[in-house]
Structure 1
Amino acid sequence: MVIPSGPSNWTVLDDDLEVVAITDQWLRNLRLGRDRAELTTKAYAGGVALCLRWCRSTRREWTAAGRDLGLFMVWLKYTPAPRDGAASVVRPGPGAVPVRGERRINRVLVAVRGLLSYAVSVREAPRSVPGQIYELADSRDLPAEAQGENGGLFYRLRPVHSLREPETQVDRAEDAELVAMFAACRNARDRLSALPVGRVGLRRGQVAGLRRSDVHLLPDSRALGCDYQGAHVHVRRRENGNGAWSKSRQAWVAPLDFLVVSAFDLYYEERNRLLGSGGSDFLLVNLFRAPLGEPMPPEAIG
């Protein structure tokens, strides 16, 4: 949904397509009051919707979900999403195949705990709920890096329900794979969209949010008011109409090598040939489909 002030947000509807009031209030507070990203509220809305569906199917009040989150975790692990409007059922027994992994379940629990905590703060849920979803823990079980330089014992709230996520190695694309993807692109725009992700390390939301004014390709950009030496891009967090978003609250600079700079040059030539020198300040725009010149959404960047 689009908020009258401009930014878009996500909410949760019930079976009658009515907005779930407390969930909508919490998600609006996250988006507008705490400056969370739209994709964050999208993920939280999806997690809360799963919990509300579980409460409905098991005839539980959602305010009492904190007492039985262990059962909810089992339901999450083995209950697939509905298909064609038909609700799925749990198939217990040996050999049942999980439909959600540990990481996904933990992310859903983060959303559920956030909603329940907010509901307590606005007196929509009993004050006993925090004790059902958190336990008091101290810093001794934290890694040394997380205990801080000052040391000392301090207390914190630790979630009662969580799964141990398996350690996985980051599957970084090999140079040969990047070259193959680069060669498969049929135009300069697509080749440029692939390089900042694979070679510079930007997220696709950051790439889609780049403006032409963020790109400095000269060896010395002091004439533009920038003291950073060499070719680089400035990554900034903005409200963008195409849904692009940088998770980092602080602006930062990403250096560019000769291959990426060459891709920029070819793209600028292609864009100027098709659209002229004016148009949107967004870096990556539609060149081959209507509406021409409109910024590309993050989903269009592979």
Structure 2
Amino acid sequence: MFMVWLRYSPSRLGAENPTVVWGPGTKPVRGERRVNGVLAAVRGLLSYAVSVDAAPRSVLGQLYELADSRDLPEEAKGEETGLYYRLRARHRLQEPQADVDRASDEELVAMFLACRSARDRLIMLLHSRVGLRRGQVAGLRRSDCHLLPDARALGCDVEGAHVHVRRRANVNRAWSKSKRAWVQPLDFLVVQGFDQYVDERLEKLGAGGSDFLLVNLFREPLGVPMSPAAMGELFDRLSRRAGLGRKVGPHMARRAFGSNVVDAGGSWDEVQMLLGQEHPGSVAPYVIPDRSRVREAVERVPSPRELSGQVAR
């Protein structure tokens, strides 16, 4: 009954027509996600009430049922491995399936050309050609970036230009979702983007300042590390500035990177390593093949007539 009330009852009942009855058959005033959000808050409140003996423990049995991780999709498991048990909410509306999409190469190029600084171009490259999450980009330190072909002088045995992606606590609340650290190789375009940004940063701030790679250069306070939210705001601005018909976010650029690796002939284990995923099953949401490649795959399947001709020969 509470769920029905949430779905159909407006926050303010119309005083001009108090006899209207709200319920199934009328237009819902709250969507599935909104209702589920309110239900989650109510469950949290009642769980706290049980923990402080303000409500009986039987309330939890009415709110939750015991379940395990086998029914969760791979993307919901994250980096967790093995079987584990959890409390599953009894009361929840089925939410409409959200379309998982990638940014197209044309969109990314248009956004790159719409950038007005070397810093913004580097941010675009770190998402679209390196495949990092926005928290990982915002959390990069200058000491994580080894751009020389031979980094042994820096105490690193990894060959070629690369960055070290590490999970650490950061003052700008940047956070790497992956628990493990890994080395991400860089191509010549990203290295060139680094070079141009270093020159821009030197001009604005000098050689010192924060060890964070990406910092405020054009607004106060100068030199303060950029936050993950600032990455999303930049992508919103670039989407509008490039005249795109939709918002392209950082995660869509990350999916484009994973998809482009596969389209270029890369294997799933390579995508797994490049995206910093712990197990292969979590790679699937990041691989959205180009439509032309999907059509080519269908056309490569021989027709029954061709097969029968081969058998006859």
TM range (shorter): 0.5 to 0.7
Structure 1 residues 114 and 201: alpha-carbon distance in aligned structure 2, compared to 1, 3 A threshold: farther
2:138 touches 2:228 (CA, 8 Å); kept in 1?
Answer: yes
Q: Which shifted more, 115-124 or 276-285?
A: 115-124
- 1:270 and 2:166 aligned: no
Aligned residue number for residue 98 of structure 2 = 168
- 1:179 and 2:99 aligned: no
Percentage of identical aligned residues? 63
Residue 200 of structure 1: SS of its match in structure 2?
A: coil
TM-fit CA distance, 1:270 = 0.7
TM-fit CA distance, 1:291 = 1.6
TM-fit CA distance, 1:167 = 3.2
2:216 touches 2:225 (CA, 8 Å); kept in 1?
Answer: yes
| Per-residue Cα deviation, 1:216-271 (whole angstroms, up to 9, x for no partner) | 22333343333444322222233322232223333333332222221111101111
- 1:300 and 2:230 aligned: yes
For the residues of structure 1 that align with 2:38 and 2:158, how far apart are their CA atoms?
Answer: 41
Residue 254 of structure 1: SS of its match in structure 2?
A: strand
| Per-residue Cα deviation, 1:122-148 (whole angstroms, up to 9, x for no partner) | 323321121111124578x837978x9
Larger Rg: 2
TM-score normalised to the size of structure 2?
0.59
Residue 163 of structure 2: SS of its match in structure 1?
A: strand
- 1:96 and 2:33 aligned: no
- 1:218 and 2:148 aligned: yes
| Per-residue Cα deviation, 1:21-78 (whole angstroms, up to 9, x for no partner) | xxxxxxxxxxxxxxxxxxxxxxxxxxxxxxxxxxxxxxxxxxxxxxxxx624752x55
Structure 1 residues 144 and 292: alpha-carbon distance in aligned structure 2, compared to 1, 3 A threshold: closer
1:78 touches 1:100 (CA, 8 Å); kept in 2?
Answer: no
Structure 1 residues 150 and 203: alpha-carbon distance in aligned structure 2, compared to 1, 3 A threshold: closer
TM-fit CA distance, 1:200 = 2.4
| Per-residue Cα deviation, 1:101-122 (whole angstroms, up to 9, x for no partner) | 43x5445544543443343233
Q: What's the RMSD between the two structures over aligned residues?
A: 3.5
Structure 1 residues 221 and 109: alpha-carbon distance in aligned structure 2, compared to 1, 3 A threshold: farther
Structure 1 residues 101 and 293: alpha-carbon distance in aligned structure 2, compared to 1, 3 A threshold: same
What stretches of structure 1 of length at least 5 have no aligned partner?
1-69, 81-86
What stretches of structure 2 of length at least 5 have no aligned partner?
15-21, 236-313
Q: Which has the higher contact order (CA 8 A, sep 6+)?
A: 2
- 1:191 and 2:116 aligned: no
Structure 1 residues 270 and 164: alpha-carbon distance in aligned structure 2, compared to 1, 3 A threshold: same
Map 1:50-69 to 2 at 5 A: none
1:285 touches 1:295 (CA, 8 Å); kept in 2?
Answer: yes
TM-fit CA distance, 1:280 = 0.7
1:182 touches 1:194 (CA, 8 Å); kept in 2?
Answer: yes
Residue 213 of structure 1: SS of its match in structure 2?
A: helix
- 1:242 and 2:172 aligned: yes
TM-fit CA distance, 1:181 = 0.4
Aligned residue number for residue 131 of structure 1 = 61
Aligned residue number for residue 142 of structure 1 = 71
Letter in 2 for 1:233: V
Structure 1 residues 143 and 193: alpha-carbon distance in aligned structure 2, compared to 1, 3 A threshold: closer
1:208 touches 1:284 (CA, 8 Å); kept in 2?
Answer: yes
